[in-house]
Structure 1
Amino acid sequence: MSILINKDTKVITQGITGKTGQFHTRTCREYANGREAYVAGVNPKRAGEDFEGIPIFGNVREAKEQTGATVSVIYVPPAGAAAAIWEAVEADLDLAICITEGIPVRDMMEVRDRMRRENRKTLLLGPNCPGVITPDELKIGIMPGHIHRKGRIGVVSRSGTLTYEAVGQLTALGLGQSSAVGIGGDPVNGLKHIDVLRLFNDDPDTDAVVMIGEIGGSDEEEAAEWAKANMKKPVVGFIAGVTAPPGKRMGHAGAIISGGKGTADEKLAVMEACGIKVTRNPSEMGRLLKSVL
């Protein structure tokens, strides 16, 4: 078991002919069951061609109908990425994973509002995220596959590099991962911590969860409150940006303390009050998780 994806998932790459799309499709195909999983690419100008044996279609709906794919990964440049997300949503895919960084906030607001208004079934992961991996089964995104190992710990993170850091620590301690999910750091995005915690809570093959957040917004607090009321498994947490000055954007577009809200201290306090064990030291995430098992 896993969340969101497994070895039987069929994947479409939107933007497969660009440099980034080519590179990451290639590395994802080389990981675990990737060769079976990546079944289609999309580029309206290159329909009928193929990329290293993967057929290229003019649009997502056509790719889905021809291959049975249920998930897409998006490497389309920022100007066209929101339209690419909407194309995946309109094709009624189960999941769209948008890796693209730098999508205009207004574009994302329009897409997300439209998804809600029309009550679409497609889940969106990202944008500006590393993607999702179920170790030894399938990786969709830009994370390094070799640091992962199969196991029973779920990882959910707003930060890409800290996802890898937590995974690396867990693997070094002999603890594998059920799935690792990078939700991205943009202010307007799809799945939140709370959504991924829900999935891990319902997954019989996940025993505990590492939740990594960042300054800005209130997603971590909302997830902590939900976990206190509903989570049946231990959760440990870390918040990046303890030293961040208010009003200065740190790294991610969404990582900004505004109006005195969204500080790391505030988030950590709420998480602790909700029964989540937290650390202020990113090198302790793995050991902290091991201590609650």
Structure 2
Amino acid sequence: MAIFLTKDSKVIVQGMTGSEGQKHTRRMLASGANVVGGVNPRKAGQKVDFDVVSETRESSTVEIPVFGSVQEAIDTTGADVTVIFVPEKFTKSAVIEAIDAEIPLAVVITEGIAVHDTAAFWAYAGAKGNKTRIIGPNCPGLITPGQSNAGIIPADITKPGRIGLVSKSGTLTYQMMYELRDIGFSTCVGIGGDPVIGTTHIDALEAFEADPDTDL
């Protein structure tokens, strides 16, 4: 069990073809995430090959298709998580696209987004019935060790366990994961440190409280 992200999650990456998107997509694949597609309207129909070295040191090449929209990616792959690496001036429209497609979880990694833009897409999500949970922006994402990873959190610094972690700070998230690595974590969530964010400490704590496999 975990909150928000499990081994069954199907992940797409908005901005996968950019340098940061490619780097972290490769890392997500290496940690076991089921990345099923990328989104870039200008590169729709293309495929990107990722040379992936797993945690067991096995190497393989994974071919990921690029779709023209979030909706097309969902319709084709059944994706239920998007990780957004789009530059800050385009992030608002990328999140709104994800909300319109009603993807259940949108993880906004991008930093430097204007607070007005974040407030606007958060209000838009509410007006649409909050069908899309937003994590971030300016966050490291979330990881369920041994199952899936959506964002930039290192996968090799802890192990699965029964502690739930939620933090505004990416660096402190990694530190806590490492310090308590012998105990392990159910899910670690970096909610971001911007003035306006989607999922809050309270939201995450409520989810952990309801998770039978999170004890602390």
Instruction: Check whether TM > 0.5.
Output: yes
Q: Residue 88 in 1 paired to residue 98 in 2? A: yes
Match of 2:214 in 1: 206
Q: Residue 187 in 1 paired to residue 195 in 2? A: yes
Could you list the runs of 4 or more consecutive aligned residues of structure 1 that deviate by over 4 angstroms after TM superposition?
none
Shift of 1:120: 3.0
Match of 1:4 in 2: 4
CA distance in structure 1 between the aligned counterparts of 2:213 and 2:130, rounded to whole angstroms: 28
Which protein has the bigger strand share?
Answer: 2
CA distance in structure 2 between the aligned counterparts of 1:110 and 1:184, rounded to whole angstroms: 17
Match of 1:244 in 2: none
Query: Which segments of 5 or more consecutive residues in structure 2 lack a partner in the other structure?
Result: 50-62
How far does the alpha carbon of each residue in 1:130-149 deviate from its partner, in whole angstroms, 9 at most, with x for none?
Answer: 00000011111111111120
How many residues in Structure 1 have an aligned counterpart in Structure 2? 203
Partner secondary structure for residue 139 of structure 1: strand
CA distance in structure 1 between the aligned counterparts of 2:136 and 2:119, rounded to whole angstroms: 13
Partner secondary structure for residue 156 of structure 2: helix
1:165-176 correspondence to structure 2 within 5 Å:
165-171=175-181, 174-176=182-184
1:200-279 correspondence to structure 2 within 5 Å:
200-208=208-216
Match of 1:14 in 2: 14
Of 14, 39, 44 in structure 2, the residue corresponding to residue 42 of structure 1 is: 39
TM-score of the superposed pair, with normalisation by structure 2: 0.92
Q: Residue 177 in 1 paired to residue 185 in 2? A: yes
Match of 2:87 in 1: 77
Match of 1:212 in 2: none
CA distance in structure 2 between the aligned counterparts of 1:184 and 1:206, rounded to whole angstroms: 22
Shift of 1:118: 2.6
Query: Aligned AA for 2:43?
Result: R
Query: Aligned AA for 2:156?
Result: H
How far does the alpha carbon of each residue in 1:25-58 deviate from its partner, in whole angstroms, 9 at most, with x for none?
Answer: 0111011x22xx1001000000000111100000
CA distance in structure 2 between the aligned counterparts of 1:141 and 1:30, rounded to whole angstroms: 12
Which structure has the larger Rg? 1
Question: Pairwise CA RMSD of aligned residues?
Answer: 0.7
Partner secondary structure for residue 198 of structure 1: helix
Give identity over the alignment, percent: 49
Shift of 1:67: 0.2
1:57-68 correspondence to structure 2 within 5 Å:
57-68=67-78
Query: Which segments of 5 or more consecutive residues in structure 1 lack a partner in the other structure?
Result: 209-293
Which protein has the bigger helix share?
Answer: 1
CA distance in structure 1 between the aligned counterparts of 2:124 and 2:43, rounded to whole angstroms: 28
Query: Aligned AA for 1:16?
Result: M
Of 132, 138, 151 in structure 2, the residue corresponding to residue 128 of structure 1 is: 138
Shift of 1:116: 1.3
Q: Residue 51 in 1 paired to residue 48 in 2? A: yes
Match of 2:25 in 1: 25
CA distance in structure 2 between the aligned counterparts of 1:192 and 1:12, rounded to whole angstroms: 23
CA distance in structure 2 between the aligned counterparts of 1:20 and 1:157, rounded to whole angstroms: 22
Match of 2:60 in 1: none
Match of 1:214 in 2: none
Match of 2:156 in 1: 146
